[in-house]
Amino acid sequence: MAEFLSTKPYKGSRDFYPEEMRSREWMFSTMSRVVESFGFERYDAPLIEPLEIYLRKTSEEIVNQQIYSFLDRGERKVAIRPEMTPSVARMVARRFSELVKPLRWYSIPNLWRYEQPSRGRLREHWQLNCDIFGAQDEFLADIEILLLAINLLKAFGANQEHFRLKLSHRQILNQVLYELLSLPPESWLPIGRIIDKKDKITVAEFEDLLQKEGLDREQIKTLFSYLEEKEDFLERHAQWSSAHYLLRILKFLEDMGVRPYIDYDPAIVRGFDYYTGIVFEVYDRHPENRRSLFGGGRYDELTGAFSKEKVNAVGFGMGDVTLEDFLKTHGLWQTFPRKTELFMALFGEEELIVHSQKLAQKLRDHGFCVEMSLNSARLGRQFEEAHRKEIPLVLVIGSEEYKAGLVLVKDLNTGEQRRFSEEELLRYLKERQKNLK
């Protein structure tokens, strides 16, 4: 007896059936519409890149545990992209001198990481990446990327009750660690990782981890002051350019009317690998899905592995898995009917089939979606097929209609039947389409 292959997709990846793709197309088209309204242009890059570009610019966790890498037939070490950042850095460095700055670029690539699948995290996902490169005024670029992040979720119907953008600045943390705690740079990374865990562990556990890294009581007290006093701490240290900068951003966002979406949260650290300025994460506020949805920040050393020319950059990445979870959790996910609105039923005579095919093509030329029956069975079966496919109108050209130059149109939602000439049919369909919009 034959042994059949499994019909399940590879672990951590997904199949998307047509009804699911309709919602995904809505999700991605909404992303593109909002991003392009800010003047961004879309780019893309290869799915496979040289492994070395990730060894230079990607986090240790991704490089050591999550990359799909292999030798190609030319004995070259290559990897399926786990993120888009090294690819876009390579592209910008390659043509930076000839490109008109600032660059506002976005992409929605397919990405792969070998990790344990869980809620909001799969091995394969798609990610919206938005970056601004080479802005003359970095403040304005930072503001624009934050406004874009907020506008994206608002475009899906979300409001301040659904999410919060938590904002910080890496240079403020660096100054706290260096100037107030007198810690050497080599200890900043482990301290940063502990700070990043703060909201997930108890105060006692947090203090214990800090003590294991060598912090004494006074240093821990100072760090708590930084983390708990928030904007009061910034005001007291406004002589720091980074603190003054962040206070200016918060004031600007307040003047823009979006301050209710923003929390200053000094515990937002993100990767120490390349963030150099503002950092932020957008969090879901729903009690059943309290998690980070996406994040980003400023990374001015992005192209350093490819060119000696320094390029200032700010941006973020939003994954499709966490976004879909967010939208479904808040009842914002949308489903859509088929785009096909016309079903052309057929009689068996070849002359009628040719005539029906010609009419179907004429309707397509006018912008209508027409599915031609591939079934010469009785009409009842063809009407049933159209009904099951949720196609509302069935067109029929039988012998009588053909001789009279008419088309029978049946509305499956109302049961109404009418006959039209081809010109009348076009007017009817255009008017109907207008009324449905």
pLDDT digits (tens, 9 = 90+) for 142-184: 999 999 999 999 999 999 999 999 999 999 999 999 999 988 8
Distance CA 350, CA 8 (A): 42
Q: Checking phi first, is residue 341 left (phi over 0); if not, alpha (psi -120 to 50) or beta?
A: alpha
DSSP secondary structure letters along 148-204: HHHHHHHHTT--TTTEEEEEEEHHHHHHIIIIIS---GGGHHHHHHHHHTGGGS-HH
In a domain, 374, yes or no: yes
Q: Residue 389: helix, strand or coil by DSSP?
A: coil
In a domain, 148, yes or no: no
Segments forming the whole domain that contains residue 376? 342-436
Measuring CA to CA, how many Å separate 161 from each of 165, 237, 290, 295?
Answer: 12, 31, 13, 18
What is the pTM (predicted TM-score) of this model? 0.91
In a domain, 81, yes or no: no
Q: What is the mean pLDDT of residues 52-74?
A: 80
In a domain, 424, yes or no: yes
Both structure tokens of 228: 């708990």
Which pLDDT score is estimated for 24?
Answer: 97
Distance CA 104, CA 221 (A): 42
Q: Taking a C-beta distance cutoff of 8 angstroms, is the pair 430, 380 a contact?
A: no
In a domain, 417, yes or no: yes
In a domain, 382, yes or no: yes
pLDDT digits (tens, 9 = 90+) for 236-274: 999 999 999 999 999 999 999 999 999 999 999 887 667
Q: What is the mean pLDDT of residues 343-349?
A: 88
Residue 346 belongs to a domain with what CATH number? 3.40.50.800
- Asked whether residue 304 carries a pLDDT value surpassing 80, the answer given is no
In a domain, 392, yes or no: yes
Which pLDDT score is estimated for 273?
Answer: 64
pLDDT digits (tens, 9 = 90+) for 193-231: 888 888 888 898 988 999 988 888 999 899 999 999 999
- Asked whether residue 428 carries a pLDDT value surpassing 90, the answer given is yes
Q: How many domains does the chain have?
A: 1
- Asked whether residue 387 carries a pLDDT value surpassing 90, the answer given is yes
Distance CA 35, CA 40 (A): 6
In a domain, 346, yes or no: yes
